[in-house]
Amino acid sequence: NAGVTQTPKFQVLKTGQSMTLQCAQDMNHNSMYWYRQDPGMGLRLIYYSASEGTTDKGEVPNGYNVSRLNKREFSLRLESAAPSQTSVYFCAIIPWDTEAFFGQGTRLTVV
Amino acid sequence: AQKVTQAQTEISVVEKEDVTLDCVYETRDTTYYLFWYKQPPSGELVFLIRRNSFDEQNEISGRYSWNFQKSTSSFNFTITASQVVDSAVYFCALSEYGGSYIPTFGRGTSLIVHP
Q: Which helix (DSSP H) or strand (DSSP E) does residue B49 occupy?
A: strand B46-52
Residue B110 predicted with pLDDT over 70 = yes
Which residue of chain A is at minimal alpha-carbon distance from B9? A40
Residue B99 predicted with pLDDT over 80 = no
A107 φ/ψ angles, rounded to the nearest 5 degrees: -95, 110
- To the nearest 10°, the Cα dihedral for A78, A80, A86, A91? 0
Q: What percent of chain A has pLDDT over 90?
A: 83
Q: In this complex, do B95 and A94 lie within 8 Å of one another by their Cβ atoms?
A: yes
As a whole number of angstroms, the distance between CA B19 and CA B27 comes to 26
As a whole number of angstroms, the distance between CA A33 and CA A10 comes to 19
Q: In this complex, do A31 and B101 lie within 8 Å of one another by their Cβ atoms?
A: yes
pLDDT tens by residue, B44-78: 999 899 888 998 888 888 999 999 999 999 999 99
Residue A2 predicted with pLDDT over 80 = no
- Partners of residue B107 in chain A, C-beta under 8 Å: 40-42
Query: How far are the Cα atoms of A1, A57, A98, A108, B13 from residue B102, in angstroms, in the given order?
Result: 25, 11, 14, 24, 34
pLDDT tens by residue, A72-102: 999 999 999 999 999 999 999 987 777 889 9
Chain B nearest C-alpha distance from A105 (Å): 7
Residue B98 predicted with pLDDT over 90 = no
pLDDT tens by residue, A42-68: 899 999 999 999 999 999 999 999 999
Q: In this complex, do B9 and A105 lie within 8 Å of one another by their Cβ atoms?
A: no
Tell me whether A39 touches chain B (CB under 8 Å).
Answer: no
Tell me whether B25 touches chain A (CB under 8 Å).
Answer: no
